[in-house]
Chain A
Amino acid sequence: MSLRVLAAAGETFEAPSAETFWQPLIGSGAFAITRPAIVYALSVVLIAAVLLWATKRLAVVPGKRQMTVEAVYGLVRNGLARDIIGSHDFLKFVPLLFSLFTLILVNNLFGIIPPIQYPTMSRIAFPLALTLFVFVVYHFVGIKRKGLGGYFKSMVPAGLPTWIVPLVFLLELLTFFVTRPVTLALRLFGNMFAGHIILVLFILGAEYMLLHGGIALKLVSIPTFLMAFVLTVFELLVEFLQAYVFTMLAATYIAGSLADEH
């Protein structure tokens, strides 16, 4: 997927592609330690350290540091878990949702934070790993709550004509086992992947035009840099939004498995 934009001065501009994201640091092959893997691991260490440090001495009347953690925690706990799952069962899913939200948010923000500037979630392996947990958890709690038969039975809404039930059951089966996990992982991956490619394209393009272009192209590089800045701000919004959406959908799937009625 390399776009030939310019052929000036004998040098061609290679637009960023999927290969841009392949950055092995140690080793090679299927088990290479890649840059996003290191960033991801560091993000876990960072989040764990910050959370442990901020909750070390919690006061009933919170300080500034505690207030920040409380705000994020309250958003996940009350705004997502309690409102979606319901006040009866939500508490045991709060750790999962809170871990998901903080991890995705920090890794997304890494996409625009120098010198990292790499959204880990643009590598499908990471959203997939997180989706795997959500997938296992919502099936597990559903089967635990309703029994294996009850769980599958609960997928089909009650009160349907008998002849339509097998069809709906197949569709719901597809939804529960394919559509939900695949969309959950792909949504996050796609947003981060596309966003990062656009940012790289604008920044590299502007740089290339500035360094290798004529006068006209040098001038064009200025609005291109500006656009890169605007898109970075937009990325920030998307990063927040995707972390929120992923957590919200995870909570929704868990709530759906726990619900008595379809």
Chain B
Amino acid sequence: MQHAALALAASTAEVPGNPELPVLPHTGELIVGIIFFVILYAIVAKKVVPRLEKMFAERRAAIEGNVEKAERAQAEAQAALEQYRAQLADARGEANAIREEARQQGAAIVAEMRQQAQAEAERITTNARAQIEAERQQTMVQLRQEVGRLATDLASRIVGESLHDEVRRRGTVDRFLADLEQTPTVTSR
């Protein structure tokens, strides 16, 4: 308000230096306007804008760096996943192989056992057969004596005491037995 009053006072007294029309510039103000704008421009162009642009560039780099880092981490995670998957597949394959091997081993063991059992059975059969053979031989020998005596007894009863001669008896019996023996061996073979 005071300024307004001042201005009013000034307007009545003619002011030298101030143009009558407000659209005409005051020289002093024009000079100040130019000089101080140059100062501001110099400071902004030399200091403020370079600082801000540098920071912008750093920020862009930081953001790009972060993106890169994230991408790398993702790639690493992907690689790890692939590795785990491969390991899992390996383990699964190994387990399969082990199972297969076990099955094969089991089959082999069963086969072996079966073979052993068969062999045992065969051995037992052979033994039994041998024993039977031996017993048969023994029986045969006994029979030979028995049959010989019985036959001799029978013959001596029929023919008489004369045939009791030792030598003749043995020869006859032997011959008879040899004949007898030949027949069953042929049939047994």
Interface string of A76-99 (1 = CB under 8 A from B): 000000000000000100111011
The binding surface of chain B is classed by DSSP as helix
CB contact list, A17-41 vs B, under 8 A:
17-24, 28-37, 40-41
Report if A44-B23 is in contact (Cβ < 8 Å); known contacts: A19-B7, A58-B52, A128-B33. Answer: no
Docked complex Cα distance between A74 and B64 (Å): 20
Contact of A133 among B16, B37, B43, B59 (CB under 8 A): B37
Interface string of B21-56 (1 = CB under 8 A from A): 111111111111110110111011101110111110
Contact of A60 among B18, B30, B43, B59 (CB under 8 A): B59
Q: Confirm or deny: B3 has a beta carbon within 8 angstroms of a beta carbon on chain A.
A: yes
List the B residue with the shortest CB-CB distance to A118.
B3
CB distance from B186 to the nearest CB of A (A): 116
Contact of A19 among B11, B26, B62 (CB under 8 A): B11
Q: Confirm or deny: B4 has a beta carbon within 8 angstroms of a beta carbon on chain A.
A: yes
Q: Confirm or deny: B158 has a beta carbon within 8 angstroms of a beta carbon on chain A.
A: no
Which residues on the A side are within 8 Å of B59 (C-beta)?
Answer: 60
Contact B33 A126 (CB under 8 A): yes
CB distance from B23 to the nearest CB of A (A): 5
Contact B53 A91 (CB under 8 A): yes
Report if A22-B58 is in contact (Cβ < 8 Å); known contacts: A30-B27, A41-B32, A44-B39. Answer: no
Contact A20 B24 (CB under 8 A): no
Interface centre among A34, A51, A58, A125 (most CB of B within 10 A): A125
Contact A60 B33 (CB under 8 A): no
Report if A34-B39 is in contact (Cβ < 8 Å); known contacts: A52-B47, A70-B52, A193-B22. Answer: no
Which residues on the B side are within 8 Å of A20 (C-beta)?
Answer: 3-4, 7
Contact B43 A52 (CB under 8 A): yes
Q: Confirm or deny: A175 has a beta carbon within 8 angstroms of a beta carbon on chain B.
A: no
Which residues on the A side are within 8 Å of B31 (C-beta)?
Answer: 31
Contact B48 A60 (CB under 8 A): no
Q: Confirm or deny: A200 has a beta carbon within 8 angstroms of a beta carbon on chain B.
A: yes
Which residues on the B side are within 8 Å of A193 (C-beta)?
Answer: 22
Interface residues on B, range: 35 or more
Docked complex Cα distance between A207 and B7 (Å): 17
Contact B51 A44 (CB under 8 A): no
Contact B40 A44 (CB under 8 A): yes
Contact of A200 among B4, B26, B39 (CB under 8 A): B4
Docked complex Cα distance between A186 and B25 (Å): 11
Which residues on the A side are within 8 Å of B27 (C-beta)?
Answer: 30-31, 125
CB distance from B176 to the nearest CB of A (A): 130
Q: Confirm or deny: B111 has a beta carbon within 8 angstroms of a beta carbon on chain A.
A: no
Which residues on the B side are within 8 Å of A123 (C-beta)?
Answer: 25-26, 29
Contact A37 B49 (CB under 8 A): no
Q: Confirm or deny: A14 has a beta carbon within 8 angstroms of a beta carbon on chain B.
A: yes
Report if A98-B44 is in contact (Cβ < 8 Å); known contacts: A22-B7, A60-B62. Answer: yes
Report if A48-B1 is in contact (Cβ < 8 Å); known contacts: A55-B47, A60-B58, A128-B33. Answer: no
Provide a sorted-by-A list of 6 A–B residue pairs whose CB atoms are within 8 angstroms. A37-B33, A60-B62, A98-B49, A102-B44, A129-B30, A129-B34
Which residues of A come within 8 Å of B, CB atoms? Answer: 14, 16-24, 28-37, 40-41, 44, 47-48, 51-52, 55, 58-60, 69-70, 73, 91, 94-96, 98-99, 102-103, 123-126, 128-130, 132-133, 186, 189, 193, 200, 204, 207
Which residues of B come within 8 Å of A, CB atoms? Answer: 1, 3-4, 6-8, 10-11, 15-18, 21-34, 36-37, 39-41, 43-45, 47-49, 51-55, 58-59, 62
Given contact pairs A48-B44, A128-B30, A204-B1, a sample of 19 additional A-B residue pairs in the complex whose CB atoms are under 8 Å apart: A19-B15, A22-B18, A24-B17, A28-B16, A30-B17, A33-B28, A34-B29, A37-B28, A40-B29, A44-B39, A48-B40, A58-B54, A58-B55, A60-B59, A96-B41, A125-B28, A125-B29, A128-B33, A186-B23
